[in-house]
Chains A and B, each alone.
Chain A
């Protein structure tokens, strides 16, 4: 029994001891809260130390940065545990080398969740350490207490502490690039073409200006305004690199832009000219037909021109794709145009066979357009260059408490690293005895380059070394001259063939140039000195020192980054990228209608796009505004007459003329019945506005007046031709249509009313029916809205009735209605038509023909007076006295003595010179006293050929161009006057005086 009791007591004691032992053993295998361990390991206090490499692989902290205009945003996550994340800004004083930290923020993060955190951009690059401090137990150890805020050691390592020792901490170093500002370099054209612009010295660069079509006149006129809008030439330091030719082009463009703006035709719409205007809707047909009225408002035969007015308004929109940096059409020309058109056409014409008349049509329009072009004018300063900033990020420091390497090596030797409880216990005893202190082991597992050996960081001893490199580069360019740093930077920018580009995955990449100084990104080059806008920090340089390219101590990677050598073939492996310039990177050149704020990665891109877009803008703006002024179409004009003859009274005989006015204001050849007139005559009498060679500025006008080109009349025979005739044998009766002598009567009823009762109103019931509208004028595509007008009118042809006369269609005499009469000089018209009246030798007997009456008097040409009645009164008074030799042959005009040989000469002349045709006159036609006359070749020719009468046979010759020779041998005309002609002459003189006075 006692033995049994002893056994029981022993078992109890053993149990108690075991429990006690278990309670004081450290736990190595920390069980995670969420993740069950496959291999159950003993958990222990975190303060007792953890395996840092293992822990880090399990916690797997991850920080992914993205950069934007406001700063940088980080996606932060861990695979296990819960951490406090401290955000420390690292301040550094370059002058003293002192570094200190400022806690900016703190947040926690646990596994399974991603924390998005943003750091704002400042006016300088800001470096932060994101310090992760483990605050909750996990599979490795139990957190004994909330650890204290991490501390940064002088060497940049981070640690945390608690009463029981150090916890687990790691730091992630990030850089927020400075605000993006453009790096400056010297304007190498400042003293060149820019000086020419500033100092108004066109001649110095006339070659360059001429090459872009910029004249000296324009240059000098607009130079000062160019300077206002082109600061590049005012600044010694610039951010964009232009070539000389590009500057010339830019100056030219700015001037062109000013001129475009100056020609702005914005205005106000005027509306219809008159309340009588016919309003034409936008969709209406543009064909209008009208006829000249036969009678006016007072019912009298119309003798006045008719005026018709039309009005149309239309709004059109034209889209332009001006900006290549914006997809699709991005500029609109909105044009509201109104056109007032006035059509004026003549009244009907009353004529006689063989006579000539004119018929004019005039169409004029005034175009008023309000144009709005919403395309913004590209300006060079809107095409800015953004140089990406290089930034590198990486996990740079780890500091942790936990299992030491001795513990790990102990376990490895005990169970091959299986961490069996037995080995844990054994090793714990061995390692963590009271004589072994817990030690922080600052180990960087990820970037050995930063393993605290700063001597390996590559730095230049001074900037001069770098300058020397560049000087060499400059020499290599071929200049052979030492330059200042500014010059060198500029020279490199100018000569660089390297450029930034955007890769398919929207990353900015540097495409290295062909020369070695172009291998690093442009950002390096532009930040040499003086204008530092940011510094490129490599992962190997934790002190924000500028890292310069230097021979074999660093290499340039594929993306233009300098990577420092850490010894041997090891180079910095930090994650470096070009940041900023988001607009350029994302092609967000242009938002909305704001033409400004476009970014390009390279000067070449900026200027190329600017020049291209300005060219497109200029073309669009000019087209918009030009089209508001004058249209560019061909307008057609025709006029035709149907001159039927008695020979073919039922056959139309249209004489049809046509021509066109081209866009440039030129006239096409006028055709007659489809055949070129082969002459410079035209149916266009007048044209102006858009139909002239000099196009109007501002609002456009159109005007064309047209009529017949004229009729060619034979000087000797009076024959007519509607086709052009050249030479002295014909003359042109301009703008007149001469009817055939054989013309058929037409519209006779109207003619009778118009001629015989011109001022008598015609009752509606008596109004003549117009048989034929035998004059037609048309225009097609006239003016801006392409009006088509068809004007119909008519000529009426008749004559006073001739009683008891035969048909007048037999011969020309009948048409001209005359007869030859043998008369007695003492009584020219002896037989009175009235039987009651006997012949009176002192008076006219029968009624004279019309041409021997006062009504036929014509005193418009005072050098060639026509006074029939006064004439025959004088003739009768003189009687046969004119033959009286005793009167010394006063009235003898011509006298010939003809011998038989002279008769032979005349016969020869008639046969050989005139082809035996009595209607052929070999002499010439001349003009004197306002009348054309014939000079006979038979007796006036100066030649002495056998066809001319010999002078001895020619006794007397009459005066030419004289209606009635005053006396023998005189060149003066004898005038005859009676009461009627005296009145007529006075009336004529008064009329001429009136005209003269009117001119004054």
Chain B
């Protein structure tokens, strides 16, 4: 093997090695990192989605589903790079009291089938009152003459 061929072979091997390293790197992003990303994103999105006006009307904590999802997507997009495909699913969302379940599947851009994602992270969270009792709200809820919890109408919002 002449020297030239050897040199070419080394270069090719190097390129292949780099490619391999890159591929391995894409798959080597640890699940730890993905979980915390999803967790923090979901918790932040939950807080973003808290419906203060609902609180003023009902004395209760509510998250708005669309707000939560939008906020999650925006925060998530800001936090990840463009090297992967993601499937994001929101399961069994409950607005009052707030409860979310998020499942994020991801795949490297080197995947030949973007629908066949390889990594999965789930997060389940709630928003919980610090207080264990709230006599004020309990009274209001049990008082049928109270305006708490009365359905709002479009007229209330000027529609």
Contacts from A to B (Cβ < 8 Å): 350, 352, 354-356, 713-715, 717-720, 728, 731-733, 738, 741, 755-756, 758, 799-800, 802, 805, 813, 816-825, 828, 847-853, 855-861, 863-864, 866, 868, 871-872, 875, 878, 880, 882-883, 889, 891-900, 902-904, 906-907, 909-910, 914, 918-919, 921, 923, 925-927, 929-936, 938-940, 956, 958, 960, 963-965, 987-988, 991
Q: Mark B59-94, 1 if CB is under 8 A from A, else 0.
A: 111001111011101111110101111111111111
Q: How many positions in chain B have a CB within 8 Å of any CB in the partner chain?
A: 85
Q: Is the CB of B52 within 8 A of A354?
A: yes
Q: How far is the CA of A357 from the CA of B121 in the complex (A)?
A: 45
Residues of A within 8 A of B39 (CB): 822
Residues of A within 8 A of B74 (CB): 906-907, 909-910, 914, 918, 938
A978 CB to nearest B CB, Å: 15
A sample of 6 cross-chain residue pairs with beta-carbon separation below 8 angstroms, ordered by A number, consists of: A816-B50, A818-B129, A892-B89, A900-B82, A921-B67, A923-B66
Given A861-B149, A861-B150, A931-B54, also A900-B109 (CB < 8 A) = yes
Residues of B within 8 A of A825 (CB): 101, 124
Given A816-B50, A850-B134, A898-B86, also A929-B151 (CB < 8 A) = yes
Q: How far is the CA of A931 from the CA of B122 in the complex (A)?
A: 29
Q: Does B55 contact A (CB under 8 A)?
A: yes
Q: Is the CB of A927 within 8 A of B153?
A: yes
Contact of A860 among B51, B87, B144 (CB under 8 A): B144
Q: How far is the CA of A36 from the CA of B69 in the complex (A)?
A: 146
Contact of B85 among A856, A899, A907 (CB under 8 A): A899
A969 CB to nearest B CB, Å: 14
Binds A, one of B7-15, B17-25, B40-48: B40-48
Q: Is the CB of A355 within 8 A of B128?
A: no
Residues of B within 8 A of A850 (CB): 129, 131-134, 137
Q: How far is the CA of A847 from the CA of B84 in the complex (A)?
A: 41
Q: How far is the CA of A965 from the CA of B93 in the complex (A)?
A: 7
A818 CB to nearest B CB, Å: 5
Q: Mark B116-159, 1 if CB is under 8 A from A, else 0.
A: 00000011111111111111111101001000111111101111
Given A930-B151, A939-B69, also A852-B144 (CB < 8 A) = no
B42 CB to nearest A CB, Å: 9
Q: How far is the CA of A822 from the CA of B148 in the complex (A)?
A: 29
Residue of A nearest to B44 (CB): A918
Given A728-B158, A733-B56, A855-B137, also A936-B70 (CB < 8 A) = yes
Given A800-B131, A904-B82, A936-B66, also A356-B93 (CB < 8 A) = no
Q: How far is the CA of A929 from the CA of B149 in the complex (A)?
A: 12
A747 CB to nearest B CB, Å: 14
Q: Is the CB of A741 within 8 A of B52?
A: yes
Closest 6 A/B residue pairs (Cβ): A930-B151, A718-B52, A849-B128, A900-B82, A860-B149, A849-B129
Given A800-B134, A849-B129, also A938-B52 (CB < 8 A) = no
B103 CB to nearest A CB, Å: 6
Q: How far is the CA of A9 from the CA of B59 in the complex (A)?
A: 168
Residues of A within 8 A of B125 (CB): 820-823
Q: How far is the CA of A987 from the CA of B8 in the complex (A)?
A: 85
Q: How far is the CA of A900 from the CA of B151 in the complex (A)?
A: 42
Residues of A within 8 A of B73 (CB): 896, 898, 906, 938-939
Q: Is the CB of B55 within 8 A of A718?
A: yes
Q: Which of A848, A851, A880, A935 has the most CB of B within 10 A?
A: A851
Q: Does B26 contact A (CB under 8 A)?
A: no
Residues of B within 8 A of A828 (CB): 126
Q: Does B95 contact A (CB under 8 A)?
A: yes
Residues of B within 8 A of A902 (CB): 77
Q: Name A's interface SS.
A: mixed
Q: Is the CB of A800 within 8 A of B65?
A: no
Q: How far is the CA of A824 from the CA of B122 in the complex (A)?
A: 11
Q: Is the CB of A898 within 8 A of B70?
A: no
Residues of A within 8 A of B60 (CB): 851, 856, 858, 866
Given A800-B135, A825-B101, also A933-B66 (CB < 8 A) = yes
Contact of A906 among B77, B128, B151 (CB under 8 A): B77
Contacts from B to A (Cβ < 8 Å): 39, 43-44, 46-48, 50-61, 64-67, 69-71, 73-78, 80, 82-97, 99, 101, 103, 109, 114-115, 122-139, 141, 144, 148-154, 156-159
Given A896-B88, A898-B77, also A819-B53 (CB < 8 A) = no
Q: Is the CB of B48 within 8 A of A919?
A: yes
A884 CB to nearest B CB, Å: 10
Q: Is the CB of B130 within 8 A of A849?
A: yes
Given A898-B85, A927-B154, also A849-B99 (CB < 8 A) = no
Q: Is the CB of B97 within 8 A of A718?
A: no
Q: Is the CB of B153 within 8 A of A893?
A: no
Q: Is the CB of A820 within 8 A of B46?
A: yes
Residue of A nearest to B93 (CB): A893
Residues of B within 8 A of A719 (CB): 52
Residue of B nearest to A931 (CB): B152
Q: How far is the CA of A503 from the CA of B53 in the complex (A)?
A: 89
Given A715-B157, A728-B157, A899-B114, also A964-B54 (CB < 8 A) = no
Residues of B within 8 A of A813 (CB): 47
Residues of B within 8 A of A940 (CB): 66
Q: Is the CB of A855 within 8 A of B138?
A: yes
Q: How far is the CA of A965 from the CA of B67 in the complex (A)?
A: 16
Residues of A within 8 A of B114 (CB): 897, 899
Given A866-B97, A895-B88, also A715-B70 (CB < 8 A) = no
Contact of A851 among B77, B84, B97 (CB under 8 A): B97
Q: How far is the CA of A824 from the CA of B101 in the complex (A)?
A: 10
Q: How far is the CA of A851 from the CA of B114 in the complex (A)?
A: 41
Q: Is the CB of A818 within 8 A of B61?
A: yes
Residue of A nearest to B67 (CB): A934
A64 CB to nearest B CB, Å: 96
Q: Is the CB of B139 within 8 A of A755?
A: yes
Given A822-B124, A828-B126, also A933-B64 (CB < 8 A) = yes
7 new A-B contacts at CB < 8 Å, known A895-B89, A930-B153: A356-B57, A860-B149, A883-B103, A894-B89, A897-B115, A898-B88, A927-B157
Given A355-B59, A896-B88, A935-B66, also A855-B101 (CB < 8 A) = no
Q: How far is the CA of A895 from the CA of B158 in the complex (A)?
A: 32
Q: How far is the CA of A940 from the CA of B65 in the complex (A)?
A: 13
Q: Is the CB of A932 within 8 A of B54?
A: yes
Q: Is the CB of A927 within 8 A of B109?
A: no
Q: Is the CB of A731 within 8 A of B157?
A: yes
Q: How far is the CA of A891 from the CA of B87 in the complex (A)?
A: 16
Q: How far is the CA of A892 from the CA of B103 in the complex (A)?
A: 10
Q: How far is the CA of A731 from the CA of B57 in the complex (A)?
A: 12
Q: Which of B92, B135, B159 has the most CB of A within 10 A?
A: B92
Q: How far is the CA of A925 from the CA of B67 in the complex (A)?
A: 11
Q: How far is the CA of A813 from the CA of B44 in the complex (A)?
A: 12
